[in-house]
Structure 1
Amino acid sequence: MTYDFNRKLIHKHELDIGIFYFYKNHIISEIKEGVTLTFENCSALFDLLRSYYGTTIPFVYISNRKNSFSFVPTGHFKSSKLFPNFIGYGVVTYNSINTKIATLEQSFLDNETAIFDNLNDALQWKETLIQPLIDSN
């Protein structure tokens, strides 16, 4: 099954740190080349997450790692606490180094996490997390 990426796109936002595609229950990020992500420089992203999902609409964050960037992984501790409705974190990697980094990064999150080698598989995984919540309502 191939996912229709534009089917449910709500809005695309270009921020200083990257491009973010917002959907009903998930976000896909493409961080810009060379950026260092910190809790502090993600404040505009956090504002957008609040405006789309608040603290009740369940969502999955998918990091589409097309570019090389760095981040402070302890920021995950702080950002996860802002969103009790954040249910999963998927990472799409395109080389073995980024896969190793993503594996280490998983230890900083209490949420469901998974690593993929393509975006389509990540989106199908997202459905396995979101659909049971939708079906139960």
Structure 2
Amino acid sequence: MKIEESKYKFIYRHKISEPFGNFYIFDDYVISEINEGIHFNWALAEIVIEQIYDYFGSRDVKLSFISNRINSYSLHPQDWMCFYKQGYQLQAYAIVAYNKIGIMNVILEKLFSQTRIRKFHHLDDAVNWIEEIKTRDLESYA
């Protein structure tokens, strides 16, 4: 389900549109929809990461990320190492995969990520998981 065709189109705060995909910024998380056939690599990720931090005005914001894989595209799971070397952090990472290939890619990404990763078949389930993590983390600081 695309964001623009869902209930989430009414609640995102900002949309980043790039030739390689769309990125929707919510209060505590970002949802990506990468375009069909794109090879999503570190160079493209860095473009979006900077725009997200510019939007929030700080690199200290604690965000989670949902990859809404509505299209088929490729990526380098080892690019996660670049992400962490730059000092970036994620609270959690959800992947919504609608086919078997997308689910198999999750296994590879788990090998390289230092973040909590979970796969889902429905966008609502991924959003609920991200919101539960945020709530749990806030309660643990209280």
TM-score, normalized by the shorter chain, greater than 0.5 = yes
Query: Which residue number in structure 1 is paired with residue 78 of structure 2?
Result: 74
C-alpha contact (below 8 Å) 2:77/2:108 kept by paired residues:
no
What is the total number of aligned residue pairs between the two structures? 135
Q: How does 1:1-137 map to 2 (within 5 A)?
A: 4-53=7-56, 54-135=58-139, 136=141
In terms of fraction of residues, the more helix-rich structure is 2
Identity of aligned residues (%): 26
TM-score calculated relative to the size of structure 1: 0.88
Q: Which amino acid aligns with 1:51?
A: D
Q: Which amino acid aligns with 2:118?
A: A
Q: 1:83 to 1:131 in 2, by over 3 A?
A: farther
Secondary structure of the 1:86 match is: coil
Query: Runs of 5+ in structure 1 lacking a partner?
Result: none
CA deviation vs aligned residue, 1:18-52 (integer Å, no higher than 9, x gap)? 00000111000000000001111223202112223
C-alpha contact (below 8 Å) 1:56/1:85 kept by paired residues:
no
Q: 1:134 to 1:52 in 2, by over 3 A?
A: farther
TM-score calculated relative to the size of structure 2: 0.85
C-alpha contact (below 8 Å) 1:58/1:86 kept by paired residues:
yes
Query: Runs of 5+ in structure 2 lacking a partner?
Result: 1-5
RMSD: 1.9
Moved over 4 A (4+): none
